[in-house]
Chain A
Amino acid sequence: GESVGLHLPTLSVQEGDNSIINCAYSNSASDYFIWYKQESGKGPQFIIDIRSNMDKRQGQRVTVLLNKTVKHLSLQIAATQPGDSAVYFCAERAYSTLTFGKGTMLLVSP
């Protein structure tokens, strides 16, 4: 299930489950969106991106959905694995500026 802590929302799932991480963005001028994965002590790692002229994009085990009407982005991870445990950030680009959302910690139990 999902819990919202003082700083970082956490999503706990079992290995093999599908995970959905949500993000609300703020800038109507944003035209490009990225999901990053950040493991402890490392820099953000690109997962998947989507441009504002699309509403869905699929990668390997990951799908990003974009709803511009309500300024909402989601990341779906199929068959979640323990190695997927990390903090996930959405980021929006507007006028050469890449701004990150608050992040969600994904915890995958074996």
Chain B
Amino acid sequence: DTEVTQTPKHLVMGMTNKKSLKCEQHMGHRAMYWYKQKAKKPPELMFVYSYEKLSINESVPSRFSPECPNSSLLNLHLHALQPEDSALYLCASSQEEDEAFFGQGTRLTVV
């Protein structure tokens, strides 16, 4: 199994809503990542988890809250988002010295 599974594939939420994005991998990878990607731009790193501990937070606003319940799961909790937060949110995992495998992303629209 070389898949990273993200749910939901699409999400529309209002600015007062609370929602969560989910990511799952069963490759035994110890590093997991959240990236944000705007149209025609490269993915931008948001968070890195290593061995279930948050190791990197790239100055992401607190309305984005990551969580790593176990070594296979990664969540991104969303609250009070702005329309400019609309983007493709990508999850990835890797063994620390190897390539990162990406999920298909969640297309988020904030209205």
The chain A residues found within 8 Å of chain B, CB to CB, are: 7-8, 32, 34, 36, 41-46, 49, 89, 91, 96-103
Contact = CB atoms under 8 A, between A and B. Distances in A.
Contact of B102 (A41, A43, A101): A43
Nearest to A5: B40
B109 interface: no
A70 to B, nearest CB: 21
Contact of A43 (B40, B42, B90): B90
Nearest to A89: B42
Main secondary structure of the interface of B (DSSP, over half): strand
Given A98-B33, A101-B42, A44 B99 contact: no
B27 interface: no
Interface residues of B, number: 28
A89 B105 CA distance: 16
Which of A36, A41, A46, A98 neighbours the largest number of chain B CB atoms within 10 Å of its CB?
A: A98
Interface in B18-45: 31, 33, 40-45
Contacts of B97: 32
Interface string B79-95: 00000000000101010
